[in-house]
Homo-oligomer: A and B are copies of this chain.
């Protein structure tokens, strides 16, 4: 028991370090570092896609949220990161006319940096799949080709939602 008490600080540090390294272990997608903490970013918009039965919230880092709420989105400013969090849709248990988030699908991000990403229209495109956040590595062109219909809107589908100031 005494031995355990002596070992306790070491055990605690060990657990903390392993939790830390687990958090850091999410590999880059398209060489882009994982944007830790996006789960607490503020909302820019939401959407329900009936063509693939998914529900989405669109979040942003501080630069993106400030740009969204001041209408400064064509182009979006350098440093803006927009995140799209995607779930399969499902029916809410206690209100059948409400569609709600079901299984988590992926979180995908656009990182605005005009210089760094000059070859991909000013954006870094990345995605992490599933609750384990496995990096998507099929190439930014997969993302870009889908976003082509909105190239005149700085490649962004999202229209920031109207909010009280």
Where the two chains meet, the residues of A that have a C-beta atom closer than 8 Å to any C-beta of B are 23, 39-43, 45-51, 55-57, 59, 65, 69, 85, 87, 89, 92-95, 97-101, 103-104, 107, 128, 130-133, 149-150, 153, 157-159, 161-165
Contact = CB atoms under 8 A, between A and B. Distances in A.
Contacts of A130: 164
Given A51-B97, A107-B164, A131-B164, A43 B59 contact: yes
Q: Which 9 A-B pairs have the closest CB atoms?
A: A51-B97, A101-B161, A48-B48, A40-B42, A48-B99, A104-B162, A47-B98, A49-B98, A46-B46
A21 to B, nearest CB: 14
A91 to B, nearest CB: 10
